[in-house]
Each structure stands twice: as C-alpha cells, then as structure tokens.
Amino acid sequence: MSAKRTSKTVLLAAPRGFCAGVDRAIQIVEKSIAKYGAPVYVRHEIVHNRHVVDRLVGMGAVFVEELEDCPDDRPVVFSAHGVPKSVPAAAQAREMNYLDATCPLVSKVHVEAEKHAAAGHHILLIGHEGHPEVVGTMGQLPVGRMSLIETEEDAHKFTAEDPENLALVTQTTLSVDDTSAMIDILKTRFPNIALPYKEDICYATTNRQMAVKAIAERCDLLLVIGSQTSSNSKRLVEVGDKAGADNAMLISSADSINWDIVDQAKVIGLSAGASAPEYLTDGVLAALKSKYEIDMQEVEVTKEKVIFRLPRKLLDVA
C-alpha cells in the first residue's frame, strides 16, 4: 500500500506571466521570420527570459548585443526594452530593414522625456543603472539632460542646478511601493517638479504586484517564475517578501525548484513575471502535483484586456 501523499495548498496569482508588450515583441520576431525568412537579427534579448530566447533561436532568430553585429541585408528587431535614439539612426544610415518591438508603454516614457526636455526641464529618471530600458530612455536625450535616481538615498542627495525646472519619469518595471517612496522624497524636496501625467510603471507590473500582495500573507513560500535578468520578476519577489510571505524565491522553471524548501511549506504562492510564458507555470504546477496532493486556488485581482498593435509592415503576415 503506497504512503499517503502530503497535502499542500497552492495560491495561483492572477494576472501573471506575459503582458501585452512582451506578447507583441515576441510576435514581431516570429512574424518577421515568417515574412523575411531566417535569419532575423534581434538586438539584445527580445525579453528577459532564456526559454523564450531559445525557442526563437530555434525558429531562426539571431540575438546580438549591438547593431554592428548585424549584416546590412537582413532584418533587425529592437527589443521590447527600447533603444537609444542613436540605434535606429544608425540603422537608417545603413539602409537596414528594422522593426521596433519597444513596448508602447516604454515608448510613452520616451515621448514624455522629450516633451519635458523641450520645455526646458532637467529630467530625473527613477530606475536601475545598466538595465536596457534605462539605457534606452537616457539615450533619447543628449548626455547631461537626464539624471538617474536608483535609491531613496539618491533622491535625498540629488542636487539641482535649477530646482524650479525639474521633471520626473520612471522605468516601467519597478516596485510600485519603492518608487512611490522616492517620488514622495523628490516632491517634498522639489515641490514644482513636473510629474508623469499618468504613472509610468506599466499596468502589467502594477497588476502582477497587486496579485502577489493579495496572496503573500498566507504563503509559507512564494515562488516567482522568471529570469535573474528580469527586473519585473525580481520586483515581484521583493513585493511578496515585504507583503508578508515567510519565504519568497525566484525560479527559472520547475527544474530549479528547491524541493527541500517546498517540503516544509504548507501554503505555496505561485506567480510569474511579465516575460515568463504560461507553459513554465504549467510545468511548475505539474511538478508540484507529481509530488503532493494539491488544493489549487486561483486568486485574481483584475482581468487584463490590453492588446498592442503590430508594426504596419507585419500586418499582412498570417
């Protein structure tokens, strides 16, 4: 007679996984390959997830870090994170066929920054140094027109040449709570700072963080599926930790689960970053069900219906 299996509750956060911007970016690569044939070059990882990248490589995508690594006669796709203005300018100078997969919400931040600069403001960007989205946003303007604020300490220490002429934008994939704290400091120090018309942090980042907050207090263990290079996935772990999860961990897939830790947990929360495909969540659930009796409860905080249009030159691809 087989031993009785341990029972565990799994709280499945919703929304989770792919957002509209990631879905659009991946479709741009897929449809470019379908229209132009392989290889199609992609500057930087299209999204920060190795599983997604490896699948696209299998279809004929070639991932490179710089435009110089691309031949003139093949299409090139710019990643969802956005690129400095110098990149499309260089592609145009070489008469390359390029497709911009920048998330429209990142493009919105680029437009905001340019409008503030045109109004004579010095711009503060809340974000993480070296992240491709931050590199792309800072690259919309000449060097010196934008200053990066990474921490609350930075917000306290920043000195302005003209305190009355400041504007603020943010990276789209940050922690809502951490960003709010930095914004509050800057607003207190510079009451006339021009704020975003609408929150720059994207709807998908906000929704995934809300869903994690909704389950965190009940979790002995919160598992977030995502890449170590994915900003929004790492923020979900931090949000879950602060919201009361006893333990919160980032995993890349079912293969990276620490079963000794899972064994000790009675209630397990599960979410996935905006660049993690749903089949990775399915794989983690299947792995859990193979070892335990699972009572699964989906906790949905909102429904997402956002869809972003593809570039015009790909609309004829089935």
Q: Which residues are catalytic?
A: 133
**Which residues contact residue 253 at a Cβ distance below 8 angstroms, ignoring those fewer than 6 apart?**
51, 225, 280, 283, 284
- DSSP assignment string, 191-233: TTPBPPSS-SS-HHHHHHHHHHHHHHTT-SEEEEE--TT-HHH
CB distance 80 to 48 below 8 Å: no
- Distance CA(107)–CA(162), nearest Å, equals 27
CB atoms within 10 A of CB 139: 17
Report the DSSP pairing between strands 76-78 and 293-300.
Answer: unpaired
Of 94, 196, 87, the C-alpha closest to 135 is 87
Report the sign of the C-alpha dihedral through residues 295, 296, 299, 300, in that order. negative
Strands (E), 135-196: 146-149, 166-170
- Distance CA(27)–CA(291), nearest Å, equals 35
CB atoms within 10 A of CB 156: 13
